[in-house]
Structure formats: structure tokens, C-alpha cells
Chain A
């Protein structure tokens, strides 16, 4: 009885069997994620800094690439405020970018291999996956001059350029 049922089942499914292909296509792409917004701390009267030691928060940007070797990432630290009170003296900007997390060990040399010019840090994304970039930004005002009270906003630019 069991054999007959099994045979019927096989026959029934055999007759109606049809190949349904599932096709997919992974195309290369780049995504830029802002995983952490930055905050300036005010460690001294003439200084703003995103360093944790200075009471700030470093912004973190994640760049994902789906295929290796297709993109260059460029991270540019700020050199001006987009919002601030009126400032009459010189601003001295500092900035740095470091890889703080990777999804693949092949990205271990990204920091050593990066090219830095002006305030831009350029990374060749030679491995597919996710890379987290931690950005430091700091600014001092004049010579020990107190920064006026108010809101200060500066922008980091994260770019993904196809090669």
C-alpha cells in the first residue's frame, strides 16, 4: 500500500514537474551610511573638538561596496562652519580620518595605503564589504581667543567615486 502511494505521488509530481529558474544579478554599487553623527566638545575657551577626551563625539561613516575594486572613498574633514556666530579672527582647523572597523581582514591596510591631500583622505576600496571611517575634527580660534556663544555646525563630506 505504501509503495503504491509513493509511486503515485512520484508519478503525479513527475507529470506536473516544471523547472522554475530563479535568476539574480548582483550589480556593483556603493552605499554611504552615517552611522554616528559627530558632536563638538568645548575643552577650552578657544577650542572645539570632536575627540572623546575633549567631550565630543567623532562622526563615523560606513561605506559599503558590493564588488571589489570599483570605487574610491574620499572623506574630507571640515575647513569652515556652515553655521556659527559671527567670527572675526582666524580659525585653525585640524582633522583626521581613520578606519575603525572592517568587515574583511583584507581591508587591514586601508589606513596605511590611503592618500592624504589638503583635508581629504582617499581610500582605494580594493575589497568588497563594509568599512567604517572615524573622523576627527577640531578648530581653535585666534590666539587663545574665546569662541562666541552660539551654535556651531560643520560638515564632513563622504564620497564614493567609481574608478
Chain B
């Protein structure tokens, strides 16, 4: 019985990438003509430690933005708060903020899974 339990635990082992909120708001920041939003990234993937952040318009064309690190190191079971700054002239274009997992070559099996989660402007 223990053998089956052991096998079953391995079979249900799962690694997750999670980001909130679903809908973000851009608010004026401390800087002139710059807006800011905050998102939270939670990493439960044991095979991933790095995530790339990007900002897009509604057609997924990239939009210029600033943040502390565009590639974040988030340890497994770690959480990171992202502060995204965009210029006021781009605010009307901003639609999505996405985080995408970056797989290290040595951590990828025969087929690796790249996960990407995108929050949308409220």
C-alpha cells in the first residue's frame, strides 16, 4: 500500500506559476508623467527560478516600460512584487502585463513547459 501511495504522490507532483491581480490599474507615480502599477508573482515551479516581465498593447506589441529587473529571480515558493512604470503617453496603449518563465537549459527535460500569465488593464 505504501508503494502505491509513494507512486501516487509522485504522479500528482505539480509546479505552478501564479500572478495577481487579474486586472491591474495604472496610477500616477511620484515621477512626473510616469504611471505605475503593482503585481505579485508567486513561483511554485521547482524547475524555474527566472521570469521575464513584458508590457504589451492589445495586439501584443511590446510597449516601453521600466521596472527594477526585467528578468526576475524568484526562488521556488518565493513571491515577488513587480512595480511597472510606463510613460503617460503610453498609458492608453497598455493592455497586458505578462510574466513568462525562463527555463534553464540544464533543467529542461525532453519537452519543457514555458508558462506565461498575462494580467489586463482594468
Contacts and interface: CB of A to CB of B under 8 A. Distances in A.
A135 B112 CA distance: 11
A56 B110 CA distance: 10
A153 B22 contact: no
B59 interface: no
Interface string A13-36: 000000000000001111111110
B112 A37 contact: yes
Contacts of A70: 22
Interface string B101-122: 0010100111111111111100
Q: How large is the interface on B (under 10, 10 to 19, 20 to 34, 35 or more residues)?
A: 20 to 34
A97 interface: no
Nearest to A64: B16
B20 to A, nearest CB: 5
B118 A159 contact: yes
A59 B113 contact: yes
Contact of B119 (A78, A152, A162): A162
Interface string A45-70: 00000100000110101101000001
Given A83-B108, A159-B118, A34 B47 contact: yes
DSSP majority for the B interface?
Answer: strand
B112 A31 contact: no
A78 B118 contact: no
A108 interface: no
B77 interface: no
Interface in B78-122: 96, 103, 105, 108-120
B19 interface: yes
Given A34-B14, A161-B96, A29 B22 contact: yes
DSSP majority for the A interface?
Answer: strand
A61 B17 CA distance: 11
Contacts of B62: none
Given A35-B14, A158-B116, A162-B120, A40 B22 contact: no
Contacts of B117: 30, 32, 159-161
B45 interface: yes
B48 to A, nearest CB: 9
Interface string A130-163: 0000010100000000000000111111111111
A127 interface: no
25 contacts: A27-B21, A27-B22, A29-B22, A32-B16, A32-B18, A32-B115, A33-B16, A34-B15, A38-B111, A39-B110, A64-B16, A83-B108, A153-B108, A153-B110, A155-B108, A155-B112, A156-B112, A159-B115, A159-B116, A160-B115, A160-B116, A161-B117, A161-B120, A162-B118, A162-B120
